[in-house]
Amino acid sequence: MKKNLLHIDEIRFLIIHLILVNHWLTNIFITKKGLDTSLIDFTFEITSPVLSMISGYLFFYKTKEHFHYLKKLRARLHSLVIPYIVWTVAFFLIFFAMKEIFLIVFHTTYWFGPILSFNFTNLLSTFVNPPLINFWYLQNLILIIPFNFLFYYMLKNNYVWFLFFGLVVANYSFHWVYIYFLPRFLPYYLLGCFLGYNEKYIPTIKLNKVASIVLIPLLFFAGTGTSYLEYNNFFIILLKVAIALGFIINLFNLIDSNMKSVIVTYLRNNKVYSFFLFAIHMFLYSLVQRALLKMGLENFVYNKYYALLFCLLSFSLVLIISLLMAKFLKSRFNNFYYFITGR
């Protein structure tokens, strides 16, 4: 992708911020009922599709001549499998301890799930149902690894590849057979594989300030406007895939045209913390939002404006705490930080 690769990490880091927005209601719905969510109940459904497309692209980029599958396998072991195991085991232990302590001290449950017995069977079960619910995406990325070897040979023939892609989309539409991989992952990943294998580059369009300002609400609409569309229609799925691709192209050009802006500078300087933010934010939301509610804010969140302020405050606190933790670990325990984040 030549210089286009320079912005991939910035795009991923920005997308993870949108994932934080997607999850800012999760804990409130668990702990409080009857909220007025009219200003905050929206979802950037585009997040996992964009990340999936980028992952497929990067796996097959520059593999047309030489496909070093074992090298790719080792890279995925360090970047995905080991971090998945570390975080899953760690939070199995953390949630077990916190649930027990919370029950003893406050005589109430800390989390929505039951307290699992501390045994090897339950530990193994957490790899299938990880305590961090957003790790479903990492599960899909890990389990797709063996299929990438087959994908490589299918990519050598465009007709075979697009027939396979069409069958996958049709299967999600008509439910012929069960596919483990979620529809908001696999079609996008497959398109990314094709684009990476064929080394397709993002078209560069220089945007002025006015165009950049106009593009931001359009991207917001594109990111949230398709969340109500189900993956049960062939052409709807193709439309959602096309929107995700267009989202990446426009987001790339928005970043490329505003390299000196505060936001792009922030993304560029902190993109190394992407995985850590992705992994830790659900846990921090559970801590921060419960603390804020216990401090007296629970009496205000029934008003839609206060609910919006509550979500913005908790989002900001989770983001700040996550980045401070990541920077501390990276500065003091650099090797450990890269071990748990797959870098």
Express each pLDDT in 58-96 by its tens digit.
999 989 888 889 999 999 999 999 999 999 999 888 887
Weakest mean pLDDT among 37-41, 172-176, 184-188, 228-232: 37-41
Q: Are 249 and 202 in contact (CB under 8 A)?
A: yes
Q: Give the dihedral sign, CA 136/138/143/149.
A: positive
Weakest mean pLDDT among 106-120, 179-193, 213-227, 329-343: 106-120
Kindly state the average pLDDT of the residues 174-180. Answer: 94
Cα 202 from Cα 57, distance rounded (Å): 12
Tally of structural domains, the chain: 1
DSSP single-letter state for residue 226: T
Which range of residues forms the domain containing residue 163? Answer: 2-341
pLDDT tens profile 1-12: 445 467 899 999
pLDDT of 117: 67
139: Cβ contacts below 8 Å, ≥ 6 apart: 84, 130
Tokens of 218: 């359009």
Is the pLDDT at 175 greater than 70? The verdict is yes
Is the pLDDT at 162 greater than 90? The verdict is yes
pLDDT of 1: 42
252-269 burial: b if 16+ Cβ within 10 Å, else e:
bbbbbbbeeeeebeebbe
pLDDT of 2: 46
Kindly state the average pLDDT of the residues 248-252. Answer: 93
Is the pLDDT at 119 greater than 80? The verdict is no
Taking Cα atoms as reference points, which of 313, 301, 309 lies closest to residue 33?
301
